[in-house]
Amino acid sequence: MPRLDQILSSLGYGSRREVRVLIEEGKITVAGVVVRKHDSKANAHDVMVEGMALEAPDGLLVMFYKPTGYVCTHADGEGPTIYELLPARWLRRNPPVTSVGRLDKDTSGLILITDRGDLVQQWTSPKSDIGKVYEAELDKALSPALIEVFASGTILLRGEDKPCLPAKLEIVDNVHARLTITEGRYHQVRRMFASQGWHVEKLHRARFGDYELGGLKPGEWRLLAI
Ligand code: URA
């Protein structure tokens, strides 16, 4: 079993030194008993901090409603990041949280956030067949002929030589459409429409596989079971 201070620091409760202070102050219980020795061994599921169970001891998976205007990178210099909208302790976890793929700065909607590298790999692998549903607003009237073009598996994006896999286009009204794709190429939805002469004015991801935003509002998140 891991040590108490290791458990707490790897779950974002503070640096090794900070969590030792919490332990010495008697704020930590293991199976209901106050433990003051930082090198005690424990099962993370039995540990409480000030009476609260540890957050997601087996890994964190969160559904986040990304607002427009935020980038999904960890790097500085590209504008505000989604991580500024999330609890700082999630970035202090080891490993820290990251997004499952990315949405453009100007795109809103569902993005999964996790500290589980295996899930990121699995869900962003080119072999994964996960349907991602986007709602797009276009700059001019849609043509029903696009449905077949998107479904054909022949759309070539500028600068690429492998066509996009078939995608399902549903025309909602004159300038609104829902597009389901299973790949995740760079700016894929905008570039697929651009290849046919349409400009995407607004883009929102409504669904990722089985996950849907439900009642979440921009900037809100919900913990998911792993
Ligand atoms: N396609 C895009 O063009 N942008 C996104 O953010 C996601 C898919």
Q: For the chain, what are the domain ranges? A: 4-53, 61-125+213-223, 132-208
> Which residue minimizes the CA distance to atom 5 of ligand 1?
103
According to the model, what pLDDT value does residue 76 have?
83
Distance CA 185, CA 199 (A): 17
The CB density around residue 3, as the number of other CB atoms within 10 Å, is 15
- Residue 91 φ/ψ, nearest 5 degrees: -80, -20
Q: Could you say which of 3.40.1010.10, 3.40.47.10, 3.30.70.580, 3.40.50.300 is the CATH number of the domain covering 61-125+213-223?
A: 3.30.70.580
User: What is the pairing mode between strands 221-223 and 52-53?
Assistant: unpaired
132-208 matches 4-53 in CATH topology:
no
According to the model, what pLDDT value does residue 221 have?
97
Query: Of the listed 58, 104, 161, 173, which one is catalytic?
Result: 104
Say whether domain 132-208 belongs to CATH 3.30.70.1560. yes
Q: What number does the ligand 1 atom closest to the CA of 191 have?
A: 3
Measuring from each residue's beta carbon to the nearest atom of ligand 1, which residues come in under 6 Å?
A: 103-104, 107, 187-190, 203
According to the model, what pLDDT value does residue 142 have?
98
Distance CA 60, CA 86 (A): 13
pLDDT by position in tens, the chain (length 226): 999 999 999 999 999 999 999 999 999 999 999 999 999 999 999 999 999 999 999 999 999 999 999 999 998 888 999 999 999 999 999 999 999 999 999 999 999 999 999 999 999 998 899 999 999 999 999 999 999 999 999 999 999 999 999 999 999 999 999 999 999 999 999 999 999 999 999 999 999 999 999 999 999 999 999 8
CATH number for the domain whose boundaries are 4-53? 3.10.290.10
Ligand 1 midpoint to CA 216 (Å): 20
